[in-house]
Amino acid sequence: MIDFIKYRKIAYVISGILVLTAWVSLIIFGLKPGMDFIGGSVLELKLNNTQVDPKVIEEIYKNYGYQSVLVTPSGDNGLTIRSTDVSEENHQAIIAAIKEKYNNVEEMRFESFGPVIGKELRNKSITAIILVILGIILYLTWAFRQVSRPVASWRYGVTAILALIHDISIPTGLFALLGKFKGVEIDSNFIVALLTILGFSVHDTIVVFDRIREKLRTHPGLTFAQAINESINETLRRSILTSLTLMIVLVALLIFGPAHLFYFSLTLLIGTFFGTYSSIFIASPLLYDWHQFLQKRKNKR
Amino acid sequence: MKESRRNLFVVIIILILSVVAGLFAYGQFNFLPNWFKVPYRLGLDLSGGTRLIYEADLSQVEQKDRDSAMNGLRDVIERRVNLFGVSEPRVEVVKVGDSYRLNVELAGVKDIAQAIKMIGETPYLEFREERPKEETEKILEEQKKNNPEYAFVDPYFVPSQPLLTGKYLKKAQLDFNPRTYEPMVSLEFNDEGTKIFAELTKKNVGKILAIYLDGQPISLPVVQEEITQGKAQITGKFTAEEAKKLVENLNAGALPVPIKLISQQSVGATQGEFFLNLSIKAGIIGLIAIIVFMIVMYGLLGVCASLALIIYTILNLVIYKLIPVTLSLSGIAGFILSIGMAVDANILIFERYKEEIKKGIEKKRALLEGFRRAWPSIRDSNISTIITCLVLYNFTSSMIKGFALNLLIGVLISMFSAITLTRSFLRAFIK
């Protein structure tokens, strides 16, 4: 049996460094919001073996008053052009101008979002995440209501949420770094990935907490530390196996899935890993420390 | 002995039902009845298509009439979109804060520029008079002969002389007959319209003065008498609902609501297909990987769980077809996560089972205990996922909604498949 409580400080240090790095990168670099959040347009062209000069495309956009235009190749046969939001008339005019120059080029995808829509999406996403967190705390408080000893049931909920914040901070921080150094933007897919991690992380933490709840009921003689340790050890195989299966699927998605879902799959993969890690090394030990802290304060009085 | 035979019987029934469900989910074989062949409803990112978001300018419309004005606008646009022969076009009004939006989704439209142009046009309301009988007969005859000159000629009505259009109509509203309490529609014309209307009613007493919107008849009232006051009622045997709809349509022509395109997304059909194939491929590879993994880890138990997992996948697909659920890339992500959770339920149970076996409990009891003890964890973790899904579904926009809905369906089915189904299989196979 591994004594997780004894070695918890090591995990705290590792997680502390990771979360701190994540938050520092977030504060310094921020996230690079994609078009979905700030408005903008993207045009994807299929080149069909035509040599297209990005300068020419930029020039065409500039003729219609779009100054910041970013032309990047996508795949071997495509071109992605990003700019601020483009009205329908200009869109048609630009396409016509491009076709005039290169008549083999095909329009594959065009998206244009006004800034209003982006702001809405951002607000809605934030509201949803906050509501989910509240909902989970309330449910756990209720589900663990019979185990108010030695720690009150709402503390399970709050601890699960702390582990959750840990789990979503790390991939978010990573995206701040990716955004800074590789220009990776966050889009609605990223929000979906975060929400998935959120669901998985809580799911995973609950399984361990549930075992603690059962242990405390069936073995009243155990100390809190012992109950936690035994519970983590007994659920260890399950935790690892489950996240392994999920990670297998995600790796399949990463390798075989659509290219633009690459970062989506990556976020999920990292989130799954840390979700499992935190439910073993962070969540339950935190519960223990909280308990210790309350004990000490009580003894002082 | 008797019990084990019953267990086997249950398994056979489950398998037969699953095969039927599987055929329904696949739906591609020729021998299947037609209702098996209902296609999946694919989101725009998978089928290719366009999503347009318009902002409506309602500054000229009174606060209380705005909902009604938007409904009228939606009807108008829906009619136009239908003309494009789009399969299942979706046109919906969304209220965001104080502003009204119109979301239009068009799957498989080739000429998007044309569609956008048509949607943006101002609705055209006009009054039409009856044609003389001989003229009607002649046109009908020519149309029977497929004379192309007459293909698009309305055989019954002709634009009124002088022309009365939506710009002369001040407004329409829903009223009730003070004596009979029957619903009726009141029209009010502006000064110029009053004159034209008087002339038309005088000329057409006893005849129909049809009202057309965008070239489609929306009402065919008969003129009772000459009306000089510029106010008229359309009465008839309609329900309040029908009358309301007519009012909305009339107002859409009388007080056109300007709309502005604020966002558009188009995905080419080939690209949609490409995403769809990739997702299916990734899904199959993932599923096979899980099955191999479960069998390696748990042997016979793993075989039972894998069987339950395959049925689980089929059940999800069946539900997607039946509801029907619009499948999108984010929805597929939700489904994949739910597979993970379904497998987790089995892993929880099996790990518990192994623990019980280690304690020296015999297999059947251990299995029972495994299920019993794993249940609270499965329940609590799934309920928190359900809470998450419900919140996401109700508070977010379309993309995340798809994710939440598929995850929700998946988790609900997994509670059934990973527990009930797996248990039935194990009962039959574990001796």
The set of residues, in sequence order, having a beta carbon less than 8 Å from that of A47 and lying 6+ positions away, is A77, A78, A79, A102, A104, A105
- Structure tokens, B239: 């329900």
List, as ranges, residues 235-254 from B with C-beta within 8 Å of A. none
Nearest to A128 among B264, B265, B396 (CB): B396
Same domain? A203 vs A296: yes
Distance from CA of A10 to the nearest CA of B (A): 28
Same domain? A199 vs A140: yes
Give start and end residues of each alpha helix (H) in chain A.
8-29, 35-38, 54-63, 88-101, 115-143, 153-182, 188-218, 224-256, 262-278, 284-300
Alpha-carbon distance of B286 to B172, in angstroms, equals 59
- With beta carbons under 8 A apart, name residues in chain B contacting A85: 263
- pLDDT of B410 reads 92
- pLDDT of B88 reads 64
pLDDT tens track for A226-251: 888 988 998 888 888 888 888 887 88
pLDDT band at A147 (very low <50, low <70, confident <90, very high): low
The set of residues, in sequence order, having a beta carbon less than 8 Å from that of B168 and lying 6+ positions away, is B189, B190, B192, B193, B196, B197
Are residues B270 and A108, on separate chains, in Cβ contact within 8 Å? Answer: yes
CA distances from A116 to A123, A259, B97, B399 (A): 11, 28, 11, 17
Which of A113, A139, A155 is at the close of a domain? A113
Same domain? A281 vs A170: yes
Assign domain B2-44+268-429 one CATH number from 3.40.50.720, 1.10.760.10, 1.20.1640.10, 3.40.50.1110: 1.20.1640.10
- Asked if A146 and B309 count as a contact pair (C-beta separation under 8 A), the reply is no
List, as ranges, residues 385-414 from B with C-beta within 8 Å of A. 385, 387-389, 391-392, 395-397, 399-400, 403-404, 407
Which of A113, A140, A156 is at the close of a domain? A113
- Asked if B109 and B89 count as a contact pair (C-beta separation under 8 A), the reply is no
User: Any idea which fold B49-263 has?
Assistant: Gyrase A; domain 2 (3.30.1360)
Are residues B286 and A139, on separate chains, in Cβ contact within 8 Å? Answer: no
A103 CB-side CA count, 13 A: 1
Distance from CA of A112 to the nearest CA of B (A): 5
Are residues A128 and B96, on separate chains, in Cβ contact within 8 Å? Answer: no
Nearest to B403 among A117, A192, A214 (CB): A192
Nearest to A108 among B262, B268, B297 (CB): B268
Q: Report, in angstroms and rounded to the nearest whole number, the Rg of chain B calculated over CA atoms.
A: 31
Bridge pairing between strands A78-83 and A70-74: antiparallel
Nearest to B395 among A128, A140, A189 (CB): A128
The set of residues, in sequence order, having a beta carbon less than 8 Å from that of A300 and lying 6+ positions away, is none
Distance from CA of B190 to the nearest CA of A (A): 35
Nearest to A242 among B55, B268, B344 (CB): B344
- Best residue of B336, B349, B369, B405 to probe chain A, by most A CBs closer than 10 Å: B336
List, as ranges, residues 82-111 from B with C-beta within 8 Å of A. 96
Same domain? A285 vs A152: yes
- Spatial strand order in the sheet of A78-83: A70-74, A78-83, A40-46, A106-113, B259-267, B49-56, B99-107, B90-96
Task: Answer yes or no: pTM beyond 0.80.
Answer: no
Q: Inform me whether the pLDDT recorded for A176 exceeds 90.
A: yes
Instruction: Give the rounded distance of the alpha carbon of A229 from its chain centre.
Output: 29
Mean pLDDT across A189-216 = 83
Query: Across-strand partners of B56?
Result: B100, B259
- pLDDT of B126 reads 87
Domain interval for residue A208: 8-35+116-300
Which of A81, A113, A145 is at the close of a domain? A113
- Structure tokens, B304: 């039972």
Query: Across-strand partners of B169?
Result: B189
- With beta carbons under 8 A apart, name residues in chain B contacting A203: 341, 344, 381-382, 384-385
- With beta carbons under 8 A apart, name residues in chain A contacting B313: none
Distance from CA of B17 to the nearest CA of A (A): 27
Domain with CATH 1.20.1640.10 in chain B: 2-44+268-429
Residue A50 belongs to a domain: yes
- pLDDT of B385 reads 85
Mean pLDDT over the full length of chain A: 84
- pLDDT of B398 reads 66
Nearest CA to B123 out of B82, B74, B88, B89 is that of: B74
Residue A3 belongs to a domain: no
Same domain? A51 vs A129: no
- The one-digit pLDDT tens for each residue of chain B (431 residues) are 577 788 888 888 888 888 888 888 887 777 777 777 777 888 777 877 888 888 888 877 778 888 888 888 888 888 877 776 666 677 888 877 778 888 888 876 667 777 788 888 878 888 898 888 888 888 888 888 877 777 777 888 888 888 888 888 888 888 888 888 888 888 888 888 898 888 888 888 888 888 888 888 888 888 888 888 888 888 877 788 888 888 888 888 777 788 888 888 877 777 778 878 887 887 888 888 889 988 998 888 899 889 889 999 999 999 988 888 888 877 887 887 788 888 888 888 888 888 888 888 888 888 888 888 888 888 888 888 888 888 888 877 666 788 889 989 999 998 888 788 888 888 888 76
Total number of domains in chain A: 2
Nearest to B339 among A125, A188, A249 (CB): A249
- With beta carbons under 8 A apart, name residues in chain B contacting A204: 381
Q: Which residue of B has its CA nearest to A93?
A: B113
Same domain? A227 vs A131: yes
Q: Inform me whether the pLDDT recorded for A204 exceeds 90.
A: no
Domain with CATH 3.30.1360.200 in chain B: 49-263
- Best residue of B121, B262, B271, B343 to probe chain A, by most A CBs closer than 10 Å: B262
- pLDDT of B39 reads 79
Q: What's the complex ipTM? A: 0.78
- Best residue of B328, B387, B415 to probe chain A, by most A CBs closer than 10 Å: B387
Q: Which residue of A has its CA nearest to B288?
A: A249
Residue A95 belongs to a domain: yes
Please tell me if residue B60 touches chain A, with a CB cutoff of 8 Å. no
Alpha-carbon distance of B313 to B311, in angstroms, equals 5
- With beta carbons under 8 A apart, name residues in chain A contacting B55: 114, 116
- pLDDT of A170 reads 93
B263 CB burial (10 A radius; 0-12, 13-18, 19+): buried
Distance from CA of A207 to the nearest CA of B (A): 5
What's the per-residue H, E or C state across B57-108? CCCCCCHHHHHHHHHHHHHHHHHHHHHCCCCCCEEEEEEECCEEEEEEEEEC
- With beta carbons under 8 A apart, name residues in chain B contacting A189: 329-330
- pLDDT of A169 reads 92
- With beta carbons under 8 A apart, name residues in chain B contacting A241: 297, 347, 351
Same domain? A77 vs A209: no
CATH of the domain at A162: 1.20.1640.10
- Structure tokens, B9: 């019987």
- pLDDT of B334 reads 81
Same domain? A278 vs A129: yes
Bridge pairing between strands B259-267 and B326-327: unpaired
Distance from CA of A181 to the nearest CA of B (A): 27
- With beta carbons under 8 A apart, name residues in chain B contacting A234: 355
3 state SS of A110: strand
Same domain? A74 vs A135: no
- Best residue of B50, B351, B384, B387 to probe chain A, by most A CBs closer than 10 Å: B384
Query: Across-strand partners of B171?
Result: B188
Residue by residue, DSSP assigns A160-199 as HHHHHHHHHHHHHHHHHHHHHHH-PPB-HHHHHHHHHHHH
Query: Across-strand partners of A79?
Result: A45, A73
Alpha-carbon distance of A275 to A247, in angstroms, equals 12
- Structure tokens, A62: 């500039």
